[in-house]
Structure 1
Amino acid sequence: MKLHSDKLEIQSVTGYGDGWIAVNGQRHTHSLVLTPKSELTAWPCARFELLEGSHFDMLIEQSIEPPELIVFGSGARLRFVPPALLRGLMSRRIGVETMDTAAACRTYNILASEGRRVVAALLLET
């Protein structure tokens, strides 16, 4: 018997490495916002130090439905966002999980495959 994995009809991370992320087989070298059912979009932040509240507020607009969780990939290493930048998400009761970008890619794939309303904000520093 030959076994085949199920093909999911969602946006998923299919690979990542130093300075790149592949989504559904297409390689990207810039920060990304990824949702299971929406178009993949560039995230206009190239460095962790340049993050602003508006970068996180725009994540809500990327989803067809309001997300229940934002998975934030902070780059090559784990760095936590100042809580003041997350006020807009917290006021809407949207959870934020912070991890390095590689871990965020893996976590996003699991949550998206479970049908969760998740948004991944993946920082690739240039």
Structure 2
Amino acid sequence: MRMDRSGDGEGPVISGFSGRGFVIDGGVYEGLWITPARADGWLPPSIEKLSEAHLAPLLQLDPHPEFLLLGTGARLIRPPQALTATLERRGIGIEAMDSRAAARAWGVLRAELRWIAAALYPLDAVA
């Protein structure tokens, strides 16, 4: 599937889906970290083990992201409460949704030049 985005957000653009992954600049990432500056592959832990340490590169943006989009795979799974509380103490919200919805939200929010980060589980993962 190909996704086209209107607007001119800066940084990497998720242009579609391929198999288990996300298409960015012709490459496919099954697990993905994405910031306004770059996109990197990510091997995520099971969702119940997800911690601040697993997201450290995303949380080191300067300035800190407004919030973190968390794509939890094929369906929405709530992140651990401890992670949510830790991020909130740092002033960073977390928005969890299935990974396809998170990829689409990334495009819309970056077109608005929102300063966000995203961690996306593979599309077929039941995180």
Normalization by structure 1: what TM-score? Answer: 0.80
Report how far residue 18 of structure 1 moved. 4.0
Deviation at 1:92, TM superposition (A): 1.4
Tell me, in whole angstroms, the C-alpha distance in 2 between the residues paired with 1:53 and 1:9. 26
Alignment partner, residue 101 of structure 1: 99
CA contact (8 A) 2:75 2:99 kept: yes
What does residue 80 of structure 2 align with? Answer: 82
Identify the residue that residue 27 of structure 1 maps to in structure 2. 28
Deviations for 1:57-98, whole angstroms, at most 9, x for unmatched residues?
44212x242100111000011100121022331111111111
| Stretches of 4+ aligned residues off by more than 3 angstroms | 5-9
Alignment pair present for 1:14 and 2:15: yes
* Number of equivalenced pairs: 119
Contact 1:73 1:101 in 2 (8 A): yes
Helix, strand or coil at the partner of 2:113: coil
In 2, Cα distance between equivalents of 1:91 and 1:58: 18
Q: Percent identity?
A: 32
For residues 107 and 93 of structure 1, do their structure 2 counterparts lie closer, same or farther at Cα, with a shift above 3 Å needed? same
CA distance in 1, matches of 2:109, 2:81: 24
Partner SS, residue 13 of structure 1? coil
Amino acid corresponding to residue 26 of structure 1 in structure 2: G
Q: Which residue of 2 aligns with 1:42?
A: 41
Instruction: Report SS of the residue matched to 2:15.
Output: strand
CA contact (8 A) 1:56 1:86 kept: no
Which deviates more from structure 2 when the two are superposed, residues 90-99 or residues 46-55?
Answer: 46-55
Greater Rg by CA = 1
Task: Choose 100-109 or 47-56, whichever is displaced more.
Answer: 47-56
Gaps (5+ residues) in structure 1? none
In 1: Cα distance, 2:78 partner to 2:8 partner: 34
Distance of aligned partners of 1:52 and 1:8 in 2 relative to their CA distance in 1, 3 Å threshold: closer
Specify the alignment match of 1:67 in structure 2. Answer: 65
TM-score normalised per structure 2: 0.80
